Structure 1
């Protein structure tokens, strides 16, 4: 008697990942389409030798950045450029099933979690402060020109006082905070001014002999990368020195008006209705004015 026994392979094994929890550090400047987690690290095995189907689930707010190569290829790649300021950590969930979505058969599944940490990269040039953000995600910040003034024929020995504040720039890649140095790259006629490379303080090398204003171009550069730089404008106005405060020629002025005068009518000197009342001030710094 010959008995032929056929053993049928039942779908009684679930897919298995090598690891159920992975962590990857991803630089912010990683190129789009670059592999984030290799296929061999994410491929699940199945005791029934079934074809495995994969699905990647992302956390709300980080959709569109990461994807898998295909329904049967779990390799995770970068789909959209990263921005550390938008998010610097996220979690991905990779599901594996031994039947395609919508199958009427019994489906066995497995899950692995991928923790992604974004490492900030040196992507931004220095910002001069104060500055105003130009877009909603605060990736562009534009500063207004600095302004100051000096007295003609005088050389100040102290750092110049500027508005809206001293020359100061930061590295907006805040976790890196690269060192910044300053230099004057334009507008410094006759080398009148100097800027401290470390502090940004603006000082004078000599007195100004011309009433013309100066429009300086000051550059802030990252020490680690000279291609990361920004330029700010500093306007220095040259004025005559003022030693005296203006004063009124008379402490008390007396005037007179007539009843029912129309608006904007003259006020006349008290006791002299034919002479308009004149209020004048003088300044000893300008004796001929």
Structure 2
């Protein structure tokens, strides 16, 4: 509403009033003089602070009254209102200065209104008070419930955390006026989550009130409530949830599934053979559940390899076994965690052990020669059936199967059932000095089980060759040559090998003879 337009309308009404029609000029002059005196006097607005309550459903709500100390109640003054909401939210009684709210207000939408007041003399049209600004404050009522704007919440804490550990702080907001009573003063309580959790009533800090084990339960749902009016009757409330995940700590040591394992392995198994699997369980997860297996007694025959994918312990052979030497082994295996956590007591980190009993199974093994290689010798020209040497092989199994021998790669030798090697025909050293033969040993009870050994036979030399001349000799001598005079030098072709071999024990001591023919021609004098 335009205050100046209202002023002109009021002045116009005053001029139409009958009482003013009969006024004399002198009377008007006296009134003007009186107004001037009043304007020169001390002027002051008189009002209390204005408040209006929000959310009232009545059509009109009296706010208060504007009063000037110059108002003598003779209806010569009018009150005008301008500013926030003037005419739309608030109206004023021009004669009395009473202000009325004509609309339901919401403090959360607008908490106060700034207005201006003015008082006008209807006769002069001039203000008798300077324009003054005042505020109408909207009083709060508890019409907003607390809200958790950041909820629902989710967080994670280590399992077995001590009592009193802070989990998370939740915060609720209340749109009511925090400066007006307890409308926005909140109190936090826990609706679901006891006895493991508690909440500080005024801060909203959620704390642990009892230790929790992830292996028993790994997730908790806590329901929190915020109530305004400090939880007093009539207060409004709002709720939120906090999902709490327990992260794992290494508070469990691995435990073997069995206290005793039984395994079998053949004595013929090669080095590196997997004999069996042992397994331990760890209630932890991730790195906290990783394990290492080892042999506690330091066995040099077996080893344990950890499968990092399956967390199994694979027992492997690292040295050949012999059923006839030892038929059973007992080893102690140990399992420990790969990563140690501060929650894991040091005196319990020694690991758990189990016993593995390994039974060696007998295998049908091939015969075993007393030597892998044999060296023998025999003189040449020795007659058929002569003794060369003996080999020996045995069945290493308990059955001790009889052995059958044979020779491959040569028809100059033969072997008897007892391993004795003989010749089948005389040998000539000048033909071959060494003979390399292979002897095969076969089990009579299982022809698939065979072994072989190498025999090297050296043929010794005997004096079985007479000397030989290189050529036919012919020479000349004078008829009067002196006795003893050398006519020619004869050289027999005795082999160097024969000369060297004369010291051998098998050489015939009777020397062979050589004959020659020399043609001698006499030269005449």
TM-score, normalization: structure 1? 0.53
1:93 pairs with 2:332: yes
Contact 1:55 1:71 in 2 (8 A): no
Structure 1: where are the runs of 5+ without partners?
132-141, 242-282
Change (3 A) 1:201 1:94: closer
How far 1:72 moved relative to its partner? Answer: 6.3
1:208 pairs with 2:447: no
RMSD between aligned residues: 4.7
Q: Secondary structure at the match of 1:286?
A: coil
Equivalent of residue 407 in structure 2, options 167, 184, 196: 184
1:160 pairs with 2:390: no
* 2:82 match: none
Ranked by relative contact order (alpha carbons within 8 Å, sequence separation 6 or more), the top structure is: 1
Distance 2:427 2:343 in 1: 93
1:66 pairs with 2:304: yes
Q: Deviations over 1:167-219 (max 9, x none)?
A: 22346x57686654322223334xxx4212x31123455x6386756726141
* 2:376 match: 146
* 1:267 match: none
Distance 1:9 1:209 in 2: 91
1:105 pairs with 2:346: no
* 1:43 match: 279
Change (3 A) 1:84 1:96: closer
Structure 2: where are the runs of 5+ without partners?
1-189, 197-210, 216-250, 465-506, 514-525
Q: Secondary structure at the match of 2:256?
A: coil
Aligned residues: 218
Whose helix proportion is higher, 1 or 2?
2
Contact 1:219 1:231 in 2 (8 A): yes
Contact 1:59 1:90 in 2 (8 A): no
* 1:8 match: 212
Distance 2:418 2:435 in 1: 20
How far 1:112 moved relative to its partner? Answer: 0.8
Change (3 A) 1:188 1:202: same
Change (3 A) 1:123 1:84: same
Change (3 A) 1:29 1:69: farther
Distance 1:174 1:240 in 2: 49
Q: Secondary structure at the match of 2:289?
A: coil
How far 1:8 moved relative to its partner? Answer: 2.1
Q: Secondary structure at the match of 2:212?
A: coil
* 1:253 match: none
